[in-house]
């Protein structure tokens, strides 16, 4: 199922577990998002940015030699060719348009490796909005190049020193900041967080499977693959890749997730 129920549940999972102080902000976001989704002018502006700013559609490339080795046809959806180098920009552009629609001028975000931070800082530079990116101190040191990019784009990177000083701690800090500054707009980059965030991120990434359908039709005269394979970090590229195929029984879905040393 790609649509949550009206409380944000996908079966057993979902909902909105937030501090009471954020209730109003999350409700206003929900109203704004579901209104924007049905507004043709919003969609037109979003698709214009995807095409003329981010460089979409991204190519669907048939990797012939790899396909020959495995005696199948392997297509690669080249999200790495988007502006800023990943699929993160799809969501950052969508959410910043939502922020603009809500009259917000200050954006906050969290980032781990820094790709979501860079995409958000880029969208903020595009729209002339203030940008604060929370990033664990350990990640700031590990991913210094992305920190420099965010700084050059005019964003303020806030190193977070609580906990392990990584992504989860940066998220906590961003939420803490949001509680004290409810006028800011929090751009979340993964299919996580309180409803409606997972639905928002899935929707703005769903352009990936929308394009795959058209591109497969054009290239192999059939608009679906036998298998869809995506990596799962925070779930955003995977959800975008699956979105328009979740109800299609002909398509088998495989997700790859890092298991660390635990397995």
Ligand X SMILES: *Cc1c(COP(=O)(O)O)cnc(C)c1O
What is the binding site for ligand X (CB under 6 A)?
Answer: 86, 88, 115, 190, 231-238
- State how far the Cα of 99 lies from the Cα of 187, in Å rounded to an integer: 9
Our CB check for ligand X shows the closer of 182 and 233 to be: 233
Q: How far apart are CA 214 and CA 90, in angstroms?
A: 18
Closest-CA residue to 83 (of 75, 74, 93): 93
Contact 254, 229 (CB under 8 A): yes
- Least distance (Å) between residue 23 CB and ligand X: 26
Is 42 or 108 the residue whose CB approaches ligand X more closely?
108
Q: Which is nearer to ligand X, 184 or 237 (CB)?
A: 237
- Residue 24 or 85 with smaller CB distance to ligand X: 85
Instruction: Quote the tokens at residue 202.
Output: 């899935």
> Whole-number minimum distance, CB 203 to ligand X, in Å?
14
Q: Which residue in the shown chain puts its C-beta closest to ligand X?
A: 233
Burial 209-237 (b: 16+ CB within 10 A, else e): bebbbebbeeeeeeebbeebebeeebbbb
Strands (E) across 168-223 are located at 185-187
Minimal distance in Å, beta carbon 170 to ligand X?
A: 14
In the bound state with ligand X, the residue whose beta carbon lies nearer, of 26 and 239, is 239
Bridging pattern class, strands 106-111 and 9-10: unpaired
């Amino acid at each position: 199922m790609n649509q949550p129920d009206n409380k944000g549940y996908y079966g057993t999972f979902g909902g909105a577990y937030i501090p009471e102080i954020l209730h109003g902000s999350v409700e206003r976001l929900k109203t704004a998002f579901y209104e924007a989704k049905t507004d043709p002018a919003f969609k037109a502006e979003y698709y214009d940015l995807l095409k003329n700013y981010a460089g979409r559609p991204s190519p669907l490339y048939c990797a012939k030699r790899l396909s020959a080795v495995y005696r199948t046809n392997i297509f690669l959806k080249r999200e790495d060719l988007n502006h800023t180098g990943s699929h993160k920009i799809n969501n950052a552009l969508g959410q910043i348009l939502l922020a603009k629609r809500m009259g917000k001028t200050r954006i906050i975000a969290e980032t781990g490796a820094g790709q979501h931070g860079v995409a958000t800082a880029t969208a903020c530079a595009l729209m002339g909005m203030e940008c604060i990116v929370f990033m664990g101190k350990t990640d700031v040191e590990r991913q210094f190049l992305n920190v420099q990019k965010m700084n050059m784009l005019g964003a303020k990177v806030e190193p977070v020193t609580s906990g392990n000083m990584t992504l989860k701690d940066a998220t906590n800090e961003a939420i803490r900041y949001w509680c004290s500054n409810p006028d800011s707009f929090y751009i979340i980059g993964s299919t996580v967080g309180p409803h409606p965030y997972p639905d928002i991120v899935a929707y703005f990434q769903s352009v990936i499977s929308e394009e795959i359908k058209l591109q497969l039709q054009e290239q192999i005269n059939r608009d679906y693959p036998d298998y869809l394979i995506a990596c799962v970090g925070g779930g955003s590229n995977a959800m975008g890749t699956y979105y328009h195929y979740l109800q299609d029984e002909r398509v088998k879905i495989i997700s790859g997730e890092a298991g660390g040393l635990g397995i």
